[in-house]
Structure 1
């Protein structure tokens, strides 16, 4: 089982949003040294919490400051863009880090409807074109001909090269699973986004309907989980308080920068909110590294998946670094030499 990272460039209260981008770059360099398999960054727009809005730019910075870890998107929200432009961007990225670039694709807007319209005035029409856009993108990324009679058949994505980005389908519903299966692509379910709801069904649908492709003769299924490890259970729960506090507001449709743990712990909560926090603490993958790793392994075994990506939020950046360091040791990852 491969162990990878998803980072969302989360804004922290009391710090400029640009620091979240710089923290992502520093974390990627550390995870490269620790031996993680992939480092993916997300795409969100007009989001007060998740400020990574241009993954292709961030991927370029990470790719040129790392040596061995695969780097990619989780994902590019394709309905916002022309497939040719995305193919060109990722062909350039592959030229910067040949054979290390991943292109994760999603259909969701990564934003609200108004923001999606601001990004693309045809936003309401593009999701219906998603399978066709994926087909075109795959051809351009791999330097293969588009369908016979396609109006853009003579158009090519540059620069060409001996390697190409690895395309993944991402999702938090059955739709992405079906598209990934149809095109014979690797598929990753956003377990952390739905708290696992719909995950087993989507993975089963993906495997059942998988059509083998030349690059991927067998299905390659993964999940992304939220997890945080520390030296002690108490320390882990302390840092998790920021995330739990944020989730209370998210349940109301309010998205804020991540508050420090002492602020979250200093709030007065009503009975319903207290019960919700206790539920979050009971179900979250939070605790000592042996406990968190064991629970991740149990989940992976139960779902029979090939790869787990871990996303971790903490107001204290040192807590995130500690969590990933402890888990790398627990999973027995082989460290890489720094560039």
Structure 2
């Protein structure tokens, strides 16, 4: 089974936000040395918890600091942008890291409604998403636009012998249907829904798939996991993520707290939600988390899992990926 990484440049209490960006680049270098398959970064706007706002810029920094690992967006929120401009950006990225670029796209705003309107004031922009995906693929791969299209005869530069691999991202059946229709690789955001709807979306994708960008269905799942040297330490570290998830239920957003500051009094409803999180959480020693990940991959019949890990301490995050790399016998670069 292949193992990959998703990082979101999470803001942490007591640490400057720009440090989160530099930590993401350092983590990419670390995960390449450990033998991970891909390193993806996300796009969020106006959210005090996540400061990764420009994946295409962060990918460029990762590209020039790595040499083997695939680098991708998870993803570019396409309704905010011109597909032509996105194609140009990713063609430049492919020039920096030939044959290593994944262009993951999604329809979600990655922000609240007001922020989304600042990015694109057209309230119907998401309705154009399927058309945008078609145009983006054509410009990325160098296909000609159809007769009558305003972009016919225009190329996204620079051109080269390789091209970014387009991926569809989603956390519902919509993205799965579109990925199947276009014959694209598909990635389900398990960490957003805590797995709800994941099996159904994957089944929908496989059922509707017809050859297009790729010949056979190919899917992976992005899952939250945290490993430490002891189970006790892993659950201690998990307190930071747990507090953030519980607070989010009542509209409270903020940077990640250190574990020792994350505890607070919970209402009965909050505690019930918290216990549900813990039952589903992939937290423990390296061996325990690896067993849970393997079971999930087998249940969902996916050949690759993309692991996302939040910790207040960057060293604990790096250690988690080290432990999983060892359990999965990844080949160090």
TM-score, normalised via structure 1 length? 0.96
Shift of 1:269: 2.9
Query: 1:237 and 2:235 equivalent?
Result: yes
Superposed counterparts of 1:108-257, under 5 Å: 108-122=108-122, 124-213=123-212, 215-257=213-255
Shift of 1:29: 0.4
Alignment partner, residue 274 of structure 1: 271
Alignment partner, residue 50 of structure 1: 50
Query: 1:335 and 2:332 equivalent?
Result: yes
Question: What do the CA deviations read for 1:277-326 (whole angstroms, capped 9, x no partner)?
Answer: 23222210000111111111111111111211000000011110100000
Say which SS state the counterpart of residue 103 (structure 2) adopts. Answer: strand
Give the number of equivalent residue pairs: 333
Distance (Å, rounded) in 2 between the aligned partners of 1:148 and 1:332: 51
Unpaired runs of 5+ residues, structure 1, are none
- Do 1:140 and 1:157's aligned partners in 2 also have CA atoms closer than 8 Å? yes
Distance (Å, rounded) in 1 between the aligned partners of 2:252 and 2:146: 45
Distance (Å, rounded) in 2 between the aligned partners of 1:228 and 1:326: 10
Shift of 1:154: 1.2
Say which SS state the counterpart of residue 65 (structure 2) adopts. Answer: coil
Shift of 1:276: 2.9
TM-score, normalised via structure 2 length? 0.98
Distance (Å, rounded) in 1 between the aligned partners of 2:114 and 2:266: 33
Query: 1:300 and 2:284 equivalent?
Result: no
Alignment partner, residue 91 of structure 1: 91
Say which SS state the counterpart of residue 228 (structure 1) adopts. Answer: strand
- Do 1:35 and 1:333's aligned partners in 2 also have CA atoms closer than 8 Å? yes
Instruction: Point out 4+ residue stretches in structure 1 off by more than 4 angstroms.
Output: none
Say which SS state the counterpart of residue 64 (structure 1) adopts. Answer: helix
Distance (Å, rounded) in 1 between the aligned partners of 2:298 and 2:273: 28
- Do 1:237 and 1:281's aligned partners in 2 also have CA atoms closer than 8 Å? no
Shift of 1:140: 0.3
What is the aligned-residue RMSD (CA, Å)? 0.9
Distance (Å, rounded) in 1 between the aligned partners of 2:106 and 2:165: 14
Distance (Å, rounded) in 1 between the aligned partners of 2:76 and 2:11: 20
Distance (Å, rounded) in 1 between the aligned partners of 2:315 and 2:273: 27
Q: Which moved more, 1:268-277 or 1:35-44?
A: 268-277
Question: What do the CA deviations read for 1:46-68 (whole angstroms, capped 9, x no partner)?
Answer: 00001100000000000100111
Distance (Å, rounded) in 1 between the aligned partners of 2:272 and 2:216: 43
